[in-house]
A and B are shown apart, each in its own frame.
Chain A
Amino acid sequence: MKNLLLSSSLVVLMLTGCKFGHYGELIKTTAGTDYPKSLFGDNFNSFLFKTNISVYNKNFSGLLVTKQLSANDYRVIFTTELGMKMFDFEFKDTAFTLHYCVPQFNKPKLLKVIQKDIETLLMSNISNKRQTHYEDKDGLYRVQKLEFPKTENYYFTEKSSAQLTKIECAKKRIKNTTFTLSNYQNNFPDSILIQHHDIKLKIELNLLKK
């Protein structure tokens, strides 16, 4: 029993350590004033991803396409493999427009979370946010913290490759979402995983075409 209690406490400690103590280890630097550069702001190209959205016990798979229409205007559409449109979002400056949505996604809380995730991924409208520069304790990553009205986002760029490999969204220094960007090809990640820690939501994007 004592052992069980001890190991449970250890697990709790490790988990909170991962989520909370994480940012305390960052070292403040004065390097740079530049903001993280959007991966999608690339000559108005469109990006096509094979996509999987797992929300609680439901799973939606399909194709997600993003298109930059003008400097700060992005359209993001999710369809099933068979071609049925599931949602159609537009992000223009700071405005969000829901062009279309099937009933399965038409739930205010779910829509809001997915909208925020895509907004974070598009990284548009971030250059007016208050920014602080850090690096990790091993000096391998450059970390930029941007302050939003209710949250703060941490952008981790690997120094050796200059690739953005992780974005973490936190609220009062407690991480609630991690974006993992990996398998870079031609300066763009082939795999993007959006994992929520406070709700059962996971979005996996695998690049098919750029």
Chain B
Amino acid sequence: MKRILVIVLFFISVFSFAQVPAGYKPVKDTTAFKQKMEAQSKLINTLESDFTQEKYLSVMSEKIISKGHFHFKKINMLRWEYNDPYKYLIAINKNKMYIKDNGKLSKYDINSNKMFKSINEMMVNTVQGNLLNNKDYKAKFYENDKFYLLELTPILKGAKDFLKVIQLYINKVDYAVDKVKMIEPSDDYTSIDFSNRKTNQAIADEKFIIK
């Protein structure tokens, strides 16, 4: 019996070890990390950055790469714009969502649609690094010399069908999210790298009203 227990414990420890991403170790004091993230997030009123999105599909030989720019303003204003290789704009202004595709503008009430509501929460929280407070995900915290790696596993059945895990790479210098990776159950993924980040520069409210 004792031997079986030892074997079971061995496999549990190996399994747990295997879960830690390569090059990372678990964060010891997660409370301190969360407090620091929250404190940093409170300091941000506006944010803008370039982004590069990569879509990896296992059957394709190349990744699909799209580039763009985003603006964010507290409390709930976001302008997420693709410029290359196509033009596509999604903007959130409190309860309104705008989509401009090929010059055609559509407006939606976020509260009227569950999907838009979750897109809004996901995008705003990702940009702000606030996903760690979301009760719909189970969080694990890792770190290496340069980054904290926050792994979020969805708990809800609907989300689990299309999302295995979200990885947020948070740099240790200013606690900013440098990269987001959304991995699907099939291991295909979407990763978004942020660059040329500017914080707390004036952004007019008009930027979030799309005409």
Residues of A in contact with B (beta carbons under 8 Å apart): 46, 48, 50, 52, 59, 61, 63, 65, 67, 69, 75, 77, 79, 81-85, 99-100, 102, 208-209
Contact = CB atoms under 8 A, between A and B. Distances in A.
Nearest to B54: A83
Contacts of A50: 86, 102
Contacts, number: 52
Nearest to B123: A82
Given A61-B101, A83-B182, A83-B190, A46 B85 contact: no
Given A61-B99, A79-B55, A85-B184, 8 more contacts: A61-B88, A63-B55, A77-B57, A81-B66, A82-B90, A83-B182, A83-B190, A208-B85
Given A81-B82, A83-B182, A65 B60 contact: yes
B164 to A, nearest CB: 12
B121 interface: no
B181 to A, nearest CB: 10
A179 B82 CA distance: 28
A59 B184 CA distance: 24
Listed residue (A52, A59, A81, A85) with the most chain B CB atoms within 10 angstroms of its CB: A81
B55 A83 contact: yes
Interface string B158-169: 000010000000
Q: Closest 5 A-B residue pairs measured CB to CB?
A: A83-B190, A75-B59, A81-B88, A50-B86, A208-B85
Interface in B171-203: 182, 184, 186, 188, 190
B60 A82 contact: no
B58 to A, nearest CB: 10
B106 interface: yes
A82 B190 contact: yes
B118 to A, nearest CB: 11
B93 interface: no
A63 B54 CA distance: 13
Interface size class of B (residues with CB under 8 A): 20 to 34
B107 to A, nearest CB: 13
Interface in B11-66: 53, 55, 57, 59-62, 64, 66
B64 A48 contact: yes
A76 to B, nearest CB: 10
Contacts of A84: 162, 190
B184 to A, nearest CB: 6
Contacts of B88: 61, 81
A48 B85 CA distance: 10
A69 B58 CA distance: 12
Contacts of B82: 81
A85 B190 CA distance: 10
Contact of B101 (A52, A100, A209): A52
B57 A65 contact: yes
Contact of A85 (B66, B99, B101, B162): B162
Listed residue (A79, A83, A100) with the most chain B CB atoms within 10 angstroms of its CB: A83
Nearest to B191: A83
15 contacts: A46-B60, A46-B62, A63-B55, A65-B57, A65-B60, A69-B59, A77-B59, A79-B55, A81-B66, A81-B82, A82-B53, A82-B90, A82-B119, A84-B190, A85-B188
